[in-house]
């Protein structure tokens, strides 16, 4: 009995030592996956609405201050890391366009049409990123599929480097969003100059929400769903 007790006391700490690094690695992978998305998208957007609605700043002031983080991230990537942070640069460019559009005044139809300017900038930026071979929407797609899991993240990287089919789905996801947002811009501009102003005041929001919902469904069916299935198959193959 004394031997059994001694063996148990030796084995127990070993199990604890093995489990701890796994949990730590998982947490580190989650932070590494989600941190760029938080800094490049959530912080600028959240700070804009907080400064505008919470602190009562003007649109121009809120856009200006909310551009600080994406501006710093863009410059830091180019100067320090020798890389171009496309997502941060896009958010910065959108804010600059918003600042310029906020100066537009006068004709009510022009005021309605300018609201679609941000969508067009984002849509064009995403389409250009696809043509350059660096799909911008991957920054949001990857955390959605891998969920910060270290094994899924590793499987993602393997597929991205070794599977043309996987890369095609990656491009398709961004392509759907780029086309959808650019199409939404065109629809709102046409509506601003062909429909009654009172109708477009509420219809513009409906078009925007419907576009986002449609893009989510189509991109999920054409790209995100198949990519998630390939990821599961890759994990199953590695487990054999």
Rounded mean pLDDT, 16-21: 44
Structural domain boundaries, residue 9 = 1-103
Domain final residue, candidates 73, 103, 133: 103
Report field, pTM of the whole predicted structure over 0.75:
no
Domain final residue, candidates 80, 103, 126: 103
Indicate if 147 and 191 belong to the same structural domain. Answer: yes
Indicate if 94 and 127 belong to the same structural domain. Answer: no
Indicate if 215 and 118 belong to the same structural domain. Answer: yes
Indicate if 197 and 213 belong to the same structural domain. Answer: yes
Work out how many domains the chain is built from and give that number: 2
Indicate if 97 and 136 belong to the same structural domain. Answer: no
Rounded mean pLDDT, 10-28: 46
pLDDT of residue 42: 63
The overall average pLDDT reported for the chain is 76
Indicate if 72 and 186 belong to the same structural domain. Answer: no
**What does the chain look like in DSSP terms, one character per residue?**
-HHHHHHHHHHHHHHHHHHHHHHHHHHHHHHHHHHHHIIIIIHHHHHHHIIIIIS---HHHHHHHHTHHHHHHHHHHHHTSS---HHHHHHHHHHHHHHHHTT--S-HHHHHHHTTHHHHHHHHHHHHHHHTT--TTHHHHHHHHHTT-HHHHHHHHHHHHH-HHHHHHHHHHHHHHHHHHHHHHHHHHHHHHHS-HHHHHHHHHHHHHHHHHHHHHHHIIIIIHHHHHHHHHHHHHHH-
Instruction: Name the least confident of 107-116, 129-138, 175-184, 211-220.
Output: 107-116
pLDDT of residue 1: 45
Domain final residue, candidates 49, 68, 103: 103
Indicate if 45 and 130 belong to the same structural domain. Answer: no
Indicate if 142 and 97 belong to the same structural domain. Answer: no
Indicate if 145 and 214 belong to the same structural domain. Answer: yes
């Amino acid at each position: 009995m004394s031997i059994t007790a001694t063996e148990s006391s030796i084995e127990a700490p070993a199990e604890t030592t093995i489990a701890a690094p796994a949990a730590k690695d998982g947490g580190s992978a989650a932070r590494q996956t989600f941190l760029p998305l938080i800094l490049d998208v959530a912080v600028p957007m959240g700070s804009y609405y907080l400064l505008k609605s919470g602190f009562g700043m003007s649109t121009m002031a809120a856009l200006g201050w909310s551009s600080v983080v994406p501006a710093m991230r863009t410059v830091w990537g180019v100067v320090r890391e020798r890389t171009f942070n496309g997502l941060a640069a896009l958010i910065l460019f959108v804010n600059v366009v918003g600042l310029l559009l906020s100066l537009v005044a006068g004709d009510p139809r022009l005021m309605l049409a300018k609201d679609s300017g941000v969508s067009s900038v984002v849509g064009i930026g995403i389409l250009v990123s696809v043509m350059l071979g660096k799909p911008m929407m991957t920054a949001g797609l990857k955390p959605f599929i891998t969920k910060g899991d270290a094994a899924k993240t590793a499987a993602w990287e393997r597929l991205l480097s070794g599977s043309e089919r996987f890369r095609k789905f990656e491009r398709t996801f961004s392509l759907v969003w780029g086309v959808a947002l650019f199409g939404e811009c065109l629809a709102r501009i046409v509506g601003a100059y062909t429909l009654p102003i009172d109708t477009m005041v509420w219809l513009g929001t409906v078009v925007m929400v419907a576009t986002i919902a449609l893009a989510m469904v189509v991109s999920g069916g054409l790209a995100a769903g198949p990519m998630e299935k390939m990821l599961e198959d890759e994990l199953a193959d590695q487990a054999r």
